[in-house]
């Protein structure tokens, strides 16, 4: 179990699944799967790195 501060951060910094988020993930996935870019490469990091995201789609997310 995490600290109280960790819990507060998780609550206050929740990512909202929206069109912009999905568009950035789609761009990164296209680079990886169609262009052969590395998941850890600069091109993908330029799209997803500022939010510490990865190019993964999870079917259980809900758009808000």
Local mean pLDDT, 10-residue blocks, the chain (64 residues): 85 84 91 94 90 74 53
Q: Which one-letter DSSP state was computed for residue 14?
A: P
Q: Give the Cα separation of 36 and 16 in Å (integer).
A: 28
3-state class percentages of the chain: helix first, strand second, coil last, to nearest 5: 55, 5, 45
- Specify the pLDDT at position 1: 63
Q: Are 53 and 25 in contact (CB under 8 A)?
A: yes
- pTM (two decimals): 0.67
- Specify the pLDDT at position 30: 95
Q: Give the Cα separation of 61 and 8 in Å (integer).
A: 21
């Amino acid at each position: 179990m995490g600290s109280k501060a960790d819990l507060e951060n998780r609550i206050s910094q929740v990512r909202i699944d929206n069109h912009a988020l999905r568009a950035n993930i789609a761009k990164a996935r296209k680079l990886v799967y169609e262009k052969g870019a590395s998941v850890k490469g600069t091109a993908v990091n330029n799209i997803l790195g500022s939010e510490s995201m990865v190019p993964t789609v999870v079917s259980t997310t809900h758009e808000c």
